[in-house]
C-alpha cells in the first residue's frame, strides 16, 4: 500500500512542484503586496472602486447583448434543420478560439479608420476623413465581446433545449396553452439554469477581458485587467497593481464557484433525449430562420473576411477637389515582414517575432506534455489523492493571464531578463487543456491488452510502444496542438513578461496597430492574417483528432 502511495506521490511531484512554484507562490506574493498598509489608502481604494465599477458595467452590457443574439440563435440551432447548419454552427465557434489581437485586427480592418466600411463611405460621399469612429469607443468593446462569446450561449442553451423532453410541451399544448404560454411557463423555467450558467460564463470572460479593451477601447476605458497592466508597466506601481489583482482574483473565484453550482443544476434539469428538429414550415418560422442565418453569417464572417482582404490591398488617396481612394492588390505587406528598413539595432523584424512565437510555442508544447502525461495518467485511475488534486489543476484558468504575469513580476523580478518566463507562463495556461485532452485517452486503454502483452514477454517499453502509443497518438497530437495554438495567440501575460528584443506575433501586431502609417497598418493586417490561418488550422486539427465521445471544452 505504501509503495502504491509513494508511486502516486512520485507521479504528482513534477506537476505539483510546477504549480506550487509558478502559481501558488506568485499568488501569495500578490496577496502580501495587495493587502499591505501601503496599498490600503483612500486614493488607491477609490481607484479600485472606480475601475471595478466600470469592469462590472461593461461586462454586464456585453452579457446582455450576447444573450440578445445568443438565445434566439440557440433556439434556431436546437429546433430547426436548414441547409448549411453545420457550417454556420462551426462559423460561430471559430471566433471563440481566435487570439484577441486577431479579433481586434479583424474589426479594425472592417470598421476602423482605415477599415473597409469607412473607406467605402469616404469613396461614395467624397469625405476627407472616416465618418465612423469605432476604435476607442465602448461600442467597439461590446461588439467584440458579443463576437467572441455568442457561441457560449448557443452551445450551452441549444444543447439544453435539444435535450428537453418534448412531452412536457405537448402536454401543455393539449391543455390549451398557446406557444407563448408554453415557452413562458414550461420551456423557460427548465432552461433557466442553462441560461444563467451561460450568462455567468460569458460575464466571467467579459469581466477578465484584456486584449479587446486595450486594442479596441483605448486608454479611455480601463477595466481591472487594463489598469493592472497600466499600474505595473507604465506607472511602475506594483503594490496598487497587486491590490487590483487581488480584487480580480476574488471576483473570478466567486464567479467560478457560482458557475460550478449552476453546471450541476444543468445536468439535473436536462433529459437524456432529443427533441425532433424540423424544417421551417410556416411563414413566421421561415422569416425567423432566414433572418437569423443572414445575421449570424454576416456578423461572424465579415470581420474574418475583412482581415485577409485588407492585408493584400494597398490604398492611395488623390486629395484634389474631391477625395478619391484607389485600391490595388499587393503582397508588399507580406514581403515587408522580412525586411528591416530602419536598419536599427533595436528594431525587431516581424519575421523574428514569428520565430520567437514558434520557439515559445515549441517550448510550451514540450513542457505541457512532460507535465501533462503524469497528471493525466494519475487522473485516469483516480484515488482519494486525485479527487483532491483534480480541481487544483484547474485553478490557473480562474486567474487571468495578466494577473498571472503580475505574480511572476512580483515573485521573480530578478529573472525577468530570462526569456523562459514566457513559455512557463504559457504552459501554466495550456496545462489544464492538455491534461483534459490526454486523460480520457489514457483511461480508454484496456488493462487486458497490457496484461496480454506482458504475459507474452514484452518489456514495459514494448508494452507502451505497441499498446499505449497507438491509442494515445491522436490525443497527444491534439493536446500538443492545443498547447501550440494557445501559446501562439497568448497576449496578456506575454505583453507583461516578454523582453523587448524577444517580441511575439501578438505583440508585434499590437505595436504595428499603435503606430501611424499605411505600411505599419498593412504589416499588422498581414501578421494577423497569418496568425488567424495558423490558429484555424490548429482548431481543425484538434477537431479531426478528437476522440469519439469526448466532449468539447
Q: Which residues contact 180 (CB under 8 A, 6 or more apart)?
A: none
The closest alpha carbon to 104, from 146, 63, 144, 143, belongs to 144
User: What CATH architecture does domain 339-553 belong to?
Assistant: Orthogonal Bundle (1.10)
Going by pLDDT thresholds of 50, 70 and 90, the confidence category of residue 18 is very high
User: What pLDDT was estimated at residue 363?
Assistant: 94
168 vs 306, higher pLDDT: 306
Q: Is the pLDDT of residue 146 over 90?
A: yes
Domain ranges of the chain: 38-313, 339-553
- Residues 72/78/82/87 CA torsion (nearest 10 deg): 90
More confident residue, 406 or 262: 406
Provide DSSP, 286-353: HHHHHHHHHHHHHHHHHHHHHHHHHHTEEEEEEESSSEEEEEEE--HHHHGGG--TT--TT---HHHH
17-31, 182-196, 427-441, 476-490: range with lowest mean pLDDT: 182-196
Q: Are 286 and 76 in contact (CB under 8 A)?
A: no
Kind and range of the H or E element at 420?
none
Q: Which residue has the higher pLDDT, 63 or 390?
A: 63
Write out pLDDT tens, residues 297-332: 999 999 989 999 988 887 655 444 444 555 677 888
406-447 residue pLDDT tens: 888 888 877 777 788 899 999 998 998 898 888 888 888 887
Tell me the three cell numbers of residue 465: 510502444
| Count of helix runs (H) and strand runs (E) in the chain | 25, 2
CA–centroid distance for 206 within its chain: 11
CA distance 551 to 539: 15
The residue assigned the cell 460561430 is: 92
What angle, 0 to 180 degrees and rounded to 10, lies between the N-to-C axes of helices 25-34 and 401-411?
80
Provide mean pLDDT across the span 95-105. Answer: 86
Please state which architecture CATH assigns to domain 38-313: Orthogonal Bundle (1.10)
- Cβ of 165: how many Cβ atoms within 10 Å? 15
- The grid coordinates listed for 455 are 504475459
Interval 338-360: pLDDT, tens: 876 665 545 677 888 888 999 99
- pLDDT at position 398, please? 67
3-state secondary structure 60-108: HHHHHHHHHHHHHHHHHHHHECCCCHHHHHHHHHHHHHCCHHHHHHHHH
pLDDT mean over 130-154: 91
Give whichever of 139-153, 237-251, 348-362 has the largest mean pLDDT.
Answer: 139-153
Pick the residue with more confidence: 299 or 124?
A: 299
Q: Nearest to residue 203, comparing CAs of 223, 226, 218, 187? A: 223
d(C-alpha 441, C-alpha 151), whole Å: 26
- Residue 136 backbone zone (phi > 0: left; psi -120 to 50: alpha; other: beta): left
Cα separation of 440 and 551, whole Å?
10
Take residue 391 and report the three cell numbers written for it.
480541481
Integer Cα distance of 375 and 216 in angstroms: 39
pTM greater than 0.85 (yes/no): no
| Distances in whole angstroms, Cα of residue 523 to Cα of each of 36, 156, 389 | 45, 38, 45
Mean pLDDT of all residues belonging to the chain: 81
User: Alpha carbon of 505 to those of 334, 350, 442, 510: distances in Å?
Assistant: 14, 7, 34, 9
Beta-strand runs (E) in 375-426: none
Domains 38-313 and 339-553 share a fold: yes
- Report in angstroms the alpha-carbon separations of 159 from 17, 95, 267, 271: 38, 19, 11, 11
Q: Percent of the chain beyond pLDDT 70?
A: 84
Among 340, 315, 391, 307, CA closest to 108: 307
Which of 445, 424, 437, 442 lies closest to 538 in space, CA to CA?
437
How would DSSP label each residue in 444-469? TS-HHHHHHHHHTT--HHHHIIIIIH
Who's near 38: CB < 8 A, 6+ residues apart?
239
How far are the Cα atoms of 75, 212, 215 from residue 222, in angstroms, in the given order?
A: 35, 11, 12
Report, as an integer, the average pLDDT of 214-226: 85
Distance (Å, whole) CA 485 – CA 537: 9
pLDDT tens sequence across 31-83: 787 777 667 777 788 888 999 999 999 999 999 999 999 999 998 988 888 88
- Cβ-in-10-Å burial (0-12, 13-18, 19+) of 205 comes to buried
pLDDT digits (tens, 9 = 90+) for 358-372: 999 999 999 999 999
Out of 79-93, 183-197, 252-266, the most confident range is: 79-93
Any idea what the Cα angle at residue 533 is, between residues 82 and 473, rounded to 5°? 85
The answer to whether residue 143 scores a pLDDT higher than 90 is yes
Amino acid at each position: 500500500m505504501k509503495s502504491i502511495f509513494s508511486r502516486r506521490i512520485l507521479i504528482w511531484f513534477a506537476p505539483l512542484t510546477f504549480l506550487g512554484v509558478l502559481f501558488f507562490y506568485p499568488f501569495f506574493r500578490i496577496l502580501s503586496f495587495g493587502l499591505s498598509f501601503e496599498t490600503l489608502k483612500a486614493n488607491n481604494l477609490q481607484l479600485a472602486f472606480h475601475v471595478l465599477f466600470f469592469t462590472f458595467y461593461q461586462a454586464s452590457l456585453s452579457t446582455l447583448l450576447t444573450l440578445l443574439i445568443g438565445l434566439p440563435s440557440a433556439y434556431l440551432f436546437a429546433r430547426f434543420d436548414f441547409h448549411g447548419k453545420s457550417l454556420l454552427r462551426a462559423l460561430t465557434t471559430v471566433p471563440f478560439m481566435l487570439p484577441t489581437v486577431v479579433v481586434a485586427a479583424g474589426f479594425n480592418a472592417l470598421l476602423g479608420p482605415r477599415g473597409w466600411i469607412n473607406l467605402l463611405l469616404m469613396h461614395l460621399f467624397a469625405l476627407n476623413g472616416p465618418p465612423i469612429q469605432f476604435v476607442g469607443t465602448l461600442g467597439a468593446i461590446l461588439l467584440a465581446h458579443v463576437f467572441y462569446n455568442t457561441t457560449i450561449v448557443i452551445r450551452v442553451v441549444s444543447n439544453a433545449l435539444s435535450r428537453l423532453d418534448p412531452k412536457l410541451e405537448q402536454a401543455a399544448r393539449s391543455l390549451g396553452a398557446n406557444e407563448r404560454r408554453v415557452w413562458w411557463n414550461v420551456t423557460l423555467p427548465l432552461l433557466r439554469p442553462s441560461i444563467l450558467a451561460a450568462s455567468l460564463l460569458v460575464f466571467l470572460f467579459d469581466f477578465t477581458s484584456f486584449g479587446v479593451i486595450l486594442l479596441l477601447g483605448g486608454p479611455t476605458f480601463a477595466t481591472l485587467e487594463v489598469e493592472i497592466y497600466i499600474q505595473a508597466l507604465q506607472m511602475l506601481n506594483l503594490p496598487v497593481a497587486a491590490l487590483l489583482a487581488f480584487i480580480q482574483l476574488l471576483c473570478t473565484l466567486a464567479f467560478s464557484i457560482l458557475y460550478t453550482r449552476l453546471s450541476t443544476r444543468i445536468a439535473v434539469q436536462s433529459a437524456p433525449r432529443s427533441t425532433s428538429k424540423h424544417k421551417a414550415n410556416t411563414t413566421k418560422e421561415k422569416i425567423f430562420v432566414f433572418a437569423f442565418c443572414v445575421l449570424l453569417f454576416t456578423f461572424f464572417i465579415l470581420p474574418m473576411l475583412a482581415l485577409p482582404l485588407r492585408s493584400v490591398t494597398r490604398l492611395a488617396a488623390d486629395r484634389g477637389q474631391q477625395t478619391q481612394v484607389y485600391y490595388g492588390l499587393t503582397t508588399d505587406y507580406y514581403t515587408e515582414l522580412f525586411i528591416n528598413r530602419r536598419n536599427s539595432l533595436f528594431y525587431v523584424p516581424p519575421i523574428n517575432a514569428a520565430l520567437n512565437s514558434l520557439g515559445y510555442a515549441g517550448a510550451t508544447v514540450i513542457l505541457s506534455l512532460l507535465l501533462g502525461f503524469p497528471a493525466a495518467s494519475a487522473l485516469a485511475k483516480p484515488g482519494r489523492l486525485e479527487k483532491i488534486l483534480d480541481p487544483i489543476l484547474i485553478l490557473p484558468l480562474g486567474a487571468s493571464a495578466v494577473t498571472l504575469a503580475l505574480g511572476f513580476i512580483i515573485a521573480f523580478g530578478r529573472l525577468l531578463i530570462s526569456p523562459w518566463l514566457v513559455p512557463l507562463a504559457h504552459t501554466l495556461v495550456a496545462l489544464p487543456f492538455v491534461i483534459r485532452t490526454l486523460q480520457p485517452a489514457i483511461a480508454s486503454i484496456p488493462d487486458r491488452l497490457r496484461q496480454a502483452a506482458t504475459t507474452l514477454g514484452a518489456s514495459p517499453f514494448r508494452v507502451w510502444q505497441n499498446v499505449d502509443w497507438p491509442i494515445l497518438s491522436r490525443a497527444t497530437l491534439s493536446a500538443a496542438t492545443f498547447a501550440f495554438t494557445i501559446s501562439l495567440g497568448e497576449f496578456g501575460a506575454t505583453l507583461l513578461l516578454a523582453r523587448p528584443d524577444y517580441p511575439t506575433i501578438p505583440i508585434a501586431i499590437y505595436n504595428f496597430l499603435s503606430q501611424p502609417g499605411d505600411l505599419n497598418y498593412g504589416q499588422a493586417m498581414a501578421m494577423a492574417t497569418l496568425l488567424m490561418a495558423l490558429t484555424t488550422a490548429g482548431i481543425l486539427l484538434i477537431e479531426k483528432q478528437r476522440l469519439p465521445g469526448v466532449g468539447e471544452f
